A and B are shown apart, each in its own frame.
Chain A
Amino acid sequence: MADALSIESLAFRWPKQQHNTLSIDSLLLPAGSSLFVRGPSGSGKSTLLNLLAGVLVPTEGLIRVLDQPLSQQSGKARDRFRADHIGYIFQQFNLLPYLSVIDNVMLPCRLSRRRLEKALSEAESLTAAAADRLSRLNIPESLWQQRVSALSVGQQQRVAAARGLMGLPELVIADEPTSALDQDNVDNFMDVLTGQCQALGSALVFVSHDRHLARWFDQELVLESEAQAQNKSESVS
């Protein structure tokens, strides 16, 4: 089976800036396994996520996602690829307030034919597939038809995870999804997210500044802040 992710001598620099915001020599994430990316703010975590999702392209180097050289594809192809293969979970406010909980979960399949077909291959209907994801993430059935505003933050994040796993994406990217949760909810969320990614065979890239979360993951990547990186390179030279 293909690797979920491979990175070779990646560097990203915003236009008109002298220093790299982010540089990674090499990284390999096998299919279905999980990666914890840790670093302080300003260390390029968000940049990395945008690169992996194909919203940004690296200044140098190569990113392969599912063996596809994502960094060399056109913007349109990268957007298509994201729709088809990547589930994305934000820090907060993941859900569209004007759709019901279950409609939010079905959204990826509405926007990607590939994910719709995959969802239909595992369940009888799209609604059944969404119901499966919601129950896997412990969302009580009474909430499914509710408006998003009726949910607690912890529930919203789990619905977002359910949406991220809809239609069996090969890669799930989570951008500090636990930062707004209290400790009990964090543990609960981490348990179901990592558990279900494993159960459904999706690789997981999870970004956080909280080192305690590392225990849920197969691999860990530590990013340094720009200042640290500079200090280091200066002391070497």
Chain B
Amino acid sequence: MNWIRLALASLWNRRITALLTLGMVALSLSLLLTVDRVREDTRASFSNTLSGTDLIVGGRTGSLNLLLYSVFRIGNATNNISWESYADLRRNSAVAWTVPLSLGDSHRGYRVIGTTTDYFDHYQYGRNQPLSFHSGVPFDDVYDVVLGSEVAQALDYELGDALVVAHGLGTTSFENHDDKPFTVVGILNPTGTPLDRSLHVPLEGITAMHVDWQRGVKLPGYSVSAEEARTMDLSPDSVTAVLVGMKSRVQTFAFQRLINQYRAEPLSAIIPGATLQELWQLIGIAENALIAVSFMVVVTGLLGMVTVILAGLNERRREIAILRALGARPGHILGLLMLESGFYGLAGLVAGLLLHWSLIALASPWVQAGYGIELSLTLPSPTLLVVLSGFVVLAFLAGLLPGWKAYRQSLSDGLTATT
């Protein structure tokens, strides 16, 4: 006990060096902790976004691309599915339900999704959790809109508010569908998925917005008012993607083959889970590189710490000689230095954890808003905990090097160190 007190007092005497060393160790550890947390939470967030959907069908495109734009609202569709093809696949006897998605418009940076009320019945996230309404009801009228929780919160919308959809994506758009405002009829509960940042309107609403448009531009001299549009045929020509639920999972592969070989139109069908695996493999390379760099930074911190202790040893010859004169064994001296380096490891870990948590707490709202990824304030993953306890053990063991040097030094100096 007395030795620990002495070691701490001695460390306190060198507190500026000690604090900087501690900061180095803590910073290196918090980097590792944060990289791992972001990795875990990104994975969780991606895996939680969609469940219960057996297939995603879209125009012929890469499977990753289809997954990213249909589910994660990242990137854009290159091809659409014609309404006829959609109707055809919906008729297939193996299909239990379909949810068509029409993408391409936005509202103040949030994406607008044209769909049917089936969306609210069949879309599931996390562990097969269905969507639920915080307030209001699913859309019914052509100009109804249902908001994701974050949209409602960030833009301060309530039921009954009117909003205007912009043509195309992006936070600012010069082309607004301002002649056809939508009314908020429902607000969803938070899901922690990109869905929170989406607005949902009926497919007919999307069509109505575009009746006086052609190929992405408003037709000059031709305009149809919102009320006039109601009287027109608003069934869409095409949709961007379709979520498909099978009656039996066994049929998924056969149906996927069928779609991929569809003759009337080139289509792609993907199994979300399998494509997500592809995504992990791709991201895994970058992830591993990041983790490897973080590990190297931690090792650098450890080496720096040993260097600091070793460099200070010469100045401490006096201190060691005094302790020897008072009866300290050479083993005590070795232990004292191991205690010091272990202290750096342990206190560095605690400080690193605190730093990591404050970083996550600071960055979390911003990351949530910008990327829809929920960073969690929790303990490190079990694997990382093993690594971290290994680090603390290593920190103690690293004290063997300066400890051994001090041991040799104290034996040769005896009680007559003159430095």
Contacts and interface: CB of A to CB of B under 8 A. Distances in A.
Interface of A: 46, 49-50, 53, 55-56, 75-76, 79-80, 82-84, 88, 90-91, 93-99, 107-108, 110-112, 175
A88 B326 contact: yes
A49 B415 CA distance: 8
Given A46-B416, A98-B13, A90 B321 contact: yes
Contact of B325 (A53, A75, A112): A53
Contacts of B322: 90, 94-96
B327 A112 contact: yes
Interface in B301-343: 318-319, 321-322, 324-331
A80 to B, nearest CB: 7
A76 B326 contact: no
A91 B417 CA distance: 10
A49 B417 CA distance: 13
A99 B5 CA distance: 11
B9 interface: yes
Nearest to B327: A83
B10 interface: yes
Contacts, number: 62
B12 interface: yes
A84 B327 CA distance: 8
B416 A50 contact: yes
Interface of B: 2, 6, 9-10, 12-13, 318-319, 321-322, 324-331, 414-416, 418
A50 B414 contact: yes
Given A53-B415, A55-B415, A90-B415, A79 B12 contact: no
Contacts of A46: 414-416
B326 A83 contact: yes
A49 B327 CA distance: 14
Contacts of A111: 2, 326-328
A13 to B, nearest CB: 15
Contact of B9 (A75, A84, A99): A99
B12 A98 contact: yes
Interface centre among B318, B319, B324, B327 (most CB of A within 10 A): B327
Contacts of A95: 322
Contacts of A80: 327
Contacts of A55: 324, 414-415
Contact of A82 (B6, B9, B321, B325): B325
Interface centre among B13, B328, B416 (most CB of A within 10 A): B416
A82 B6 CA distance: 19
A97 B418 CA distance: 16
24 contacts: A46-B416, A50-B414, A50-B415, A50-B416, A75-B329, A79-B328, A82-B325, A90-B321, A90-B322, A90-B415, A91-B418, A93-B318, A94-B322, A95-B322, A96-B6, A96-B319, A96-B322, A97-B13, A98-B10, A98-B12, A111-B2, A111-B326, A111-B328, A175-B415
Q: Sort A-B residue pairs by CB-CB distance and give the 4 closest, nearest first.
A: A83-B327, A98-B13, A88-B325, A50-B414
A107 B415 CA distance: 17
B414 A56 contact: yes
A54 to B, nearest CB: 9
Contacts of B330: 75
A145 B374 CA distance: 54
Nearest to A46: B416
B325 A110 contact: no
A46 B9 CA distance: 30
A88 B415 contact: yes
Contacts of A83: 326-328
A75 B321 CA distance: 16
Contacts of A112: 327
Contacts of A94: 322
A175 B415 CA distance: 9
Nearest to A110: B2
Contact of B327 (A79, A91, A98, A99): A79
